[in-house]
Amino acid sequence: MILRCIECGKEYDPTEVRYRCECGGLLEVLVDLDKVENVFDGKNITLWKYESFIPVEKRVSLNEGGTPIYRLENLQTELGMKELYVKNEGANPTGSFKDRGMTVGVSKALELGMDKVICASTGNTSASLAAYAAKSSIKAYVLVPSGKIALGKLAQAIVYGAKVVPIRGNFDDALRVVVEASKELGVYMLNSINPFRLEGQKTIAFEIFDQLGFVPDKVILPVGNAGNISAIWKGFKELYEAGFINKLPQMIGIQAEGASPLAKAWKERRDFKSLKKPETVATAIRIGNPANWPKAWRAVEESGGVLESVTDEEILKAQKMLASKEGIFVEPASASSLAGLMKLRNETEEDESVVLITTGHGLKDPNIILEGFELPEPIEPSLEAFKEVL
């Protein structure tokens, strides 16, 4: 195993604490694919089933992964499709896919002998880091955009015992401070520019293949800091290079319109420019300067995919559809995968198989539902009164 810069190819020793190349490029972990095991038999699925692909020795685990994949029987009929699935990452221990990154990332922190960890977060990363730090008895610091983090996520970070620091600014501002703090204060940084985070998250690809028994034509997911789409693509490529699969899916990344610098650049075929004031109801992906954009861009390009954006209205409509037609309650950011599919429906063939990734649990952000719903006046506790409101 080695760390390599995706821009200049310079290699680094993975026992060194390093997040970027000297040239500024992002790093990736190269795993020895001669040593990986073909364990894809559809049984006993958990993240650590794929341990031969995961480049850490230590293991801090809360039993992450093994999330359900559902066939969306109602929605696929409604949308005129044959095979539509959701992989529901809200079923992870802290309610989001971030747990996959943190089980590996915090394990790496311990291997490196670090006793403090830090991240910037729109909410889920902070909740997850806080939980895995608690399990490891190390200190977690989390910087979050003041007033722009969903209630449930904030409660999680607090109860797991992290030092929660709200900042006057957005996620991008918080990440800047965190990068500086990790250098100056010797705290291990666990945002998704840390390549070990992505080594955990790539297991979403392994599970999709393991659960379905085939590789879908398209994988659609929300894009914020652009780590997850890069990680899932890396997972599929490793399966391909190991000779376990013989096709690759198209990777389709969805951003919220008010925070869509990547989707805009993609559509206009121009260079990516960061956005100073991102805004969206999907606070998890309220990000104007996605740090992993070069990896994400390559994932979409290599896979023949696309980057698209959806409005807040489309996101909330999709959130309601998933809950009321399929019984799956996801947070707004996660619903952007379905919103994206509906927007791109004309570009999808009827018989294509599509997997939507829903990234976080709906209960993390209950306010967004209650704000749009007026509870009726209470009734008298009698059958007559009940019959009147039926």
Report the 10 Å Cβ neighbour count for 148: 17
Which span (225-233, 240-248, 267-275, 381-389) binds ligand F0G, by CB under 6 A?
225-233
Binding-site string for ligand F0G from residue 111 to residue 150, where x marks contact by CB under 6 A and - marks none: ----------xxxxx-------------------------
Dist. CA 348–CA 354, nearest whole Å? 9
Residue 319 in the binding site for ligand F0G (CB under 6 A) = no
Using the minimum distance from each CB to ligand F0G, give the nearer residue, 36 or 142.
Answer: 142
CB of 285 to ligand F0G, least distance (A): 5
CA separation for the pair 380, 50 (Å, rounded): 56
x/- map, 19-58, ligand F0G, by CB under 6 A: ----------------------------------------
According to CB under 6 A, which one of 99, 172, 199, 331 is a site residue for ligand F0G? Answer: 331
Among 96, 260, 289, 319, binds ligand F0G (CB under 6 A): 96
Of 265, 251, 274, the closest CA to residue 340 belongs to: 251
CA–CA distances in Å: residue 31 to residues 2, 3, 14, 157, 234? 7, 9, 11, 32, 11
Residues 98-117 that bind ligand F0G (CB under 6 A): 98
Please report whether residue 174 would count as binding ligand F0G according to CB under 6 A. no
Q: Does 284 bind ligand F0G (CB under 6 A)?
A: yes
Cα 266 to Cα 70, 204, 326, distances in angstroms: 30, 25, 32
We find the least distance from the C-beta atom of residue 344 to ligand F0G, in angstroms, to be 18
Cβ atoms of 350 and 76 closer than 8 Å: no
**203 lies in the site for ligand F0G, by CB under 6 A:** no
Least separation in angstroms between residue 96's CB and ligand F0G is: 5
CA–CA–CA angle 33, 38, 40 (5° rounding): 130
- 92 touches ligand F0G by CB under 6 A: no
Rounded to 10 degrees, the C-alpha dihedral 141/143/148/154 comes to 0
Closer residue to ligand F0G in complex, CB, 284/338: 284
CB 28 → ligand F0G: shortest distance, Å? Answer: 15
> Per-residue x/- marks for ligand F0G, 350-379, CB under 6 A?
---------xx-------------------
How far apart are CB 11 and ligand F0G at their closest, in Å?
25
Q: Which stretch binds ligand F0G (CB under 6 A): 109-117, 211-219, 256-264, 326-334?
A: 326-334
Examine residue 291 and tell whether it contacts ligand F0G (CB under 6 A): no
Of the candidate spans 181-189, 208-216, 327-335, 367-375, the one that interacts with ligand F0G by CB under 6 A turns out to be: 327-335
Taking CB under 6 A as the criterion, which residues in 179-198 touch ligand F0G? 192
Residue among 22, 94, 289 nearest 174 (CA): 289
Decide whether 106 or 285 has the Cβ nearer to ligand F0G. 285
| Residue closer to ligand F0G (CB basis): 36 or 249 | 249
CA angle centred on 188, ends 182 and 190, rounded to 5°: 100
Nearest residue (CB) to ligand F0G, 224 versus 340: 224
**Among residues 128 and 353, whose Cβ is nearest to ligand F0G?**
128
Total site size for ligand F0G, rule CB under 6 A: 22
CB of 330 to ligand F0G, least distance (A): 8
- Residues of this chain that bind ligand F0G (CB under 6 A): 96, 98, 121-125, 192, 222-228, 284-285, 331, 333-334, 359-360
